């Protein structure tokens, strides 16, 4: 089956959903820019191969070369970003062109970037949601592969909305990744 590498920066709940649902693919590496990310600890406990590289104090090119080498070493064919909170360079994206996907907590093309839930509530939107898209050089700008909608309820805060959207993320991402590796 197709070897997937997952990049994360924190909690890793989307990574966990991808691991639990793995059938048409398998998770060959979980990598993080944050060595103490909760998601990395979980992946280690699971016996998954992990790699951490802090970008602190080294040129971005060296940081990305280290991650790239780890992905190649693990035989990774597709990269799934799962709460990876760092911009990949144009060079890295070009090297993996069409083979990196990301989950973003908004209905793209709305609310690229950060603070998506606060912005959706502020705008008075009735629905929020999440999108899985191809990663290109343009931030949150690549082709959308799938989306899930979630109602915004009266009294929602960014946190309460984020929690509801996150549940939708955990259903959407494994489904779209499975379709993507079969394509």
Residue 11 CB, nearest approach to ligand GAR (Å): 4
Considering the rule CB under 6 A, would residue 14 count as an interface residue with ligand GAR? Answer: yes
Residue 60 annotated as binding? yes
With contacts defined by CB under 6 A, name the span among 10-18, 56-64, 121-129, 142-150 that binds ligand GAR: 10-18
- Catalytic residue, chosen from 26, 104, 133, 170, is 104
Q: Tell the residue number behind the tokens 């290109």, with chain if given.
A: 136
Q: Nearest to ligand GAR by Cβ — which residue?
A: 83
Are 76 and 3 contacting, i.e. CB atoms less than 8 angstroms apart?
A: yes
Write down the least CB distance from residue 173 to ligand GAR, Å: 8
Residue of 33, 50, 67, 104 that binds ligand GAR (CB under 6 A): 104
DSSP letter string over 48-112? --EEE---TTS-HHHHHHHHHHHHHHTT--EEEESS--SPPPHHHHHHTTT-EEEEESS-TTSS-
- Candidates 6-14, 21-29, 41-49, 120-128 — which segment interacts with ligand GAR by CB under 6 A? 6-14
Strand, helix or coil for residue 35: coil
Kindly identify the residues of this chain, within the stretch 15-54, that bind ligand GAR according to CB under 6 A.
Answer: 39
**Helix or strand run (H / E) with residue 181:** helix 158-182
Considering only residues 106 through 145, tell me which ones interact with ligand GAR, judged by CB under 6 A. 130
From 71, 78, 169, 172, residue interacting with ligand GAR (rule: CB under 6 A): 169
DSSP annotation of 129 reads E
Is residue 11 involved in binding ligand GAR (CB under 6 A)? yes
Cβ–Cβ under 8 Å, residues 129 and 104: no
Strand-pair category, 100-104 with 78-81: parallel
Q: Does 5 bind ligand GAR (CB under 6 A)?
A: no
Q: How many residues lie near ligand GAR (CB under 6 A)? A: 15
Calculate the alpha carbon distances from 85 to 12, 32, 43 in Å: 12, 10, 18
Binding region for ligand GAR (CB under 6 A): 8, 10-14, 39, 82-83, 103-105, 130, 166, 169
């Amino acid at each position: 089956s197709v070897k997937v590498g997952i990049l994360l920066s924190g909690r890793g709940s989307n990574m966990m959903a991808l691991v639990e649902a793995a059938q048409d693919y398998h998770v060959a590496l979980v990598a993080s820019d944050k060595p103490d990310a909760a998601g990395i600890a979980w992946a280690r406990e699971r016996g998954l191969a992990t790699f951490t590289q802090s970008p602190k104090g080294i040129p971005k090119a060296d940081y990305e070369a280290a991650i790239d080498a780890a992905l190649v070493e693990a035989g990774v064919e597709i990269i799934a970003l799962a709460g990876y909170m760092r911009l990949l360079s144009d060079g890295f994206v070009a090297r993996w062109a069409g083979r990196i996907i990301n989950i973003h907590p908004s209905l793209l093309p709305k609310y690229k970037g950060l603070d998506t839930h606060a912005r959706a509530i502020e705008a008075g939107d009735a629905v929020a949601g999440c999108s899985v898209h191809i990663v290109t050089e343009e931030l949150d700008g690549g082709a959308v592969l799938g989306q899930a909608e979630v109602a915004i309820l009266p009294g929602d805060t960014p946190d309460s909305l984020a929690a509801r959207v996150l549940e939708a993320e955990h259903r959407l991402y494994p489904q779209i990744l499975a379709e993507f590796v079969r394509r």
